[in-house]
Amino acid sequence: AQTVTQSQPEMSVQEAETVTLSCTYDTSESDYYLFWYKQPPSRQMILVIRQEAYKQQNATENRFSVNFQKAAKSFSLKISDSQLGDAAMYFCAYTGTASKLTFGTGTRLQVTL
Amino acid sequence: DTGVSQDPRHKITKRGQNVTFRCDPISEHNRLYWYRQTLGQGPEFLTYFQNEAQLEKSRLLSNRFSAERPKGSFSTLEIQRTEQGDSAMYLCASSPLKGGRYTEAFFGQGTRLTVV
């Protein structure tokens, strides 16, 4: 069974600074996708960024980028130029051949002035 | 495209009562998923449909839970004889087929169930 681990329950970053959220996963599959989802308080979960396992190039979406280390089974999220609106729960998630998502326990990101 | 819609947003029920939640996926999304999220945890998979066929159910889905997706459009999740442990956020998501794979899930705002 696949597992996703987020070891940082909470992180804090100052506005305009950079923060990195960690995620590790375990799988025996070779073909899979990894995601970071953002869940603001009382709001729906939205996709931040996704990475296809067969692509060596790290995905980037504006201020969000990932560091995908396939051999180490690590998938961290870097948020640059942090904004107050980035404050939320961030979930790392995995999907493979089963097509369902397996989530980590989440990291609560606080953004301070 | 109005996104994934869930109804109701909040439900408070007494223990032992039955409840039913509805999910309207994004139109033309073949796959529809139900997840459950408890406080401080990530969502956990419950079940999913491809069109009207229920293809997988988690062990978490006890026999008090039943889900349907008639005609492959909206879906309902019913919980019979609710227990306090059923209190959670129930999330619905839908996925389009892209490049032969279902990889990206779009979530609704969820239904928060409180069993008292």
Rounded to a whole number of angstroms, the CA Rg of chain B reads: 14
**Secondary structure letter of residue B98 according to DSSP:** B
How far is the C-alpha of B83 from the C-alpha of B79, rounded, in Å? 9
In this predicted structure, what is the pLDDT of residue A43? 83
Distance from CA of B110 to the nearest CA of A (A): 7
For chain B, positions 25-64, list CB contacts with chain A under 8 A. Answer: 31, 33, 35, 40-45, 48, 56
Per-residue pLDDT of chain A (113 residues; tens, 9 = 90+): 789 999 999 999 999 999 999 999 999 998 999 999 999 988 889 999 999 999 989 999 999 999 999 999 999 999 999 999 999 999 999 998 878 899 999 999 999 99
Q: Does B48 sit within 8 Å of A101, measured CB to CB?
A: no
Largest CA distance in chain A: 43
Cis peptide before A9 (omega within 30 of 0): no
What are the beta bridge partners of residue B88?
B113
Residues 6+ apart with CB under 8 A from B2: none
Alpha carbons within 13 A on the beta-carbon side of B47:
21
In this predicted structure, what is the pLDDT of residue A57? 93
Kindly list the residues from chain B whose CB atom is less than 8 angstroms away from the CB atom of residue A8. none
Q: How confident is the model at residue B1 (pLDDT cuts 50, 70, 90)?
A: low
